[in-house]
Amino acid sequence: MPAITRNRFGKGCAWYAATASNDDFYDSLVKKLCAEAGVSPLYGSLDSGSWNGVEVTVRETEADRFLFFLNHTNEECSIALPSGAESYETAKRPGEFQKNSDMTLPPYGVRVIRIRK
């Protein structure tokens, strides 16, 4: 029988799941824990099924926010971008960014997006 325990210590807590379950169980558990801790995705939604296997990281300067999208799957992924987003990969000249409203992330592909603050 599966068991899940939580141990609170100081300002934090640790969870232990003593089970070998399926992806739906773990997805549900992680969403619940993230909601309780106030953790949200850097971009998009945790419920976006088309994002499974896509990693998003961020780097920021005083003027810009750079989002790095890494597709760890063998399937293409379409991502809607916010207004004003600029893609490095679709620019005409090296080192430039070009405004885009959406992008296609190829299998095992990487895209860098800049959003001006």
- Specify the pLDDT at position 46: 54
Containing structural domain, residue 72 = 49-116
43 in a structural domain: no
Neighbour-count burial of 105, counting CB atoms closer than 10 A to its CB (0-12 exposed, 13-18 middle, 19+ buried): buried
58 in a structural domain: yes
Average pLDDT over residues 61-70: 92
Tokens of 29: 């558990």
CATH number of domain containing 89: 2.60.40.1180
Cα–Cα distance measured from residue 19 to residue 1, given in angstroms and rounded to the nearest whole number: 8
44 in a structural domain: no
Residues 23 and 76 in one domain: no
Average pLDDT over residues 42-70: 81
Residues 100 and 64 in one domain: yes
pTM of the entire predicted model: 0.68
Highest mean pLDDT out of 31-40, 58-67, 74-83: 58-67
Cα–Cα distance measured from residue 26 to residue 8, given in angstroms and rounded to the nearest whole number: 21
pLDDT tens readout for residues 27-43: 888 888 888 888 887 77
Please, which pLDDT band fits residue 77 given cuts at 50, 70 and 90? confident
Residues 60 and 112 in one domain: yes
Q: Give the type of residue at 18.
A: A
Query: Could you tell me how far CA 91 lies from the centroid of its own chain?
Result: 23
